[in-house]
Chains A and B, each alone.
Chain A
Amino acid sequence: MSPPVSPLHLIRVFFLALLLATPAAHADEASNLAQRVHERPNGSDLVTLGRMVLTEKDHAPRIREIVTYRLDKSNGETANLIRFLAPEDIAGTGLLSIDQADGSTDQWLYLPALDRVRRISSDRKGGRFVGSDLYFEDLQERRPSEDRHRLLGKQTENGILCDVLESVPVDADNSVYRKRILWVDPATAIVQRTDYFEKDLKTPSKRWLLRGKKRNQGYWTLTDSRVIDLSSGHETRMVIDSALYNQKLPAKLFTSQALADETIESEYRP
Chain B
Amino acid sequence: MSGMTAEMKKIKKAEQKEAKLRMKQISKENNKIIKKFEKEKKRKKVDPSEYQTTMENPDNIIEIDNLHTYFFTDMGTVKSVNGVSIEVPKGKTVALVGESGCGKSVTSLSVMKLVQGPTGQIVDGAIRYNRKGGAVDIVKTPISEMQHIRGNEIAMIFQEPMTSLNPIFTIGYQIDETIKLHRPDMKDEDIKKQTIEMLKLVGIARAEGIYDCYPHELSGGMRQRVMIAMSLSCDPQFIIADEPTTALDVTIQAQILDLLRDIKQKIDASILLITHDLGVVAEMADYVVVMYAGKIVEQGTAHEVFLNPKHPYTMGLIKSKPAVGKVVDRLYSIPGAVPNPVSMPNYCFFKDRCDKCLAKCNGDIPELRYISEDHKVACHLYDSKGGK
Is the pairing of A and B real? no
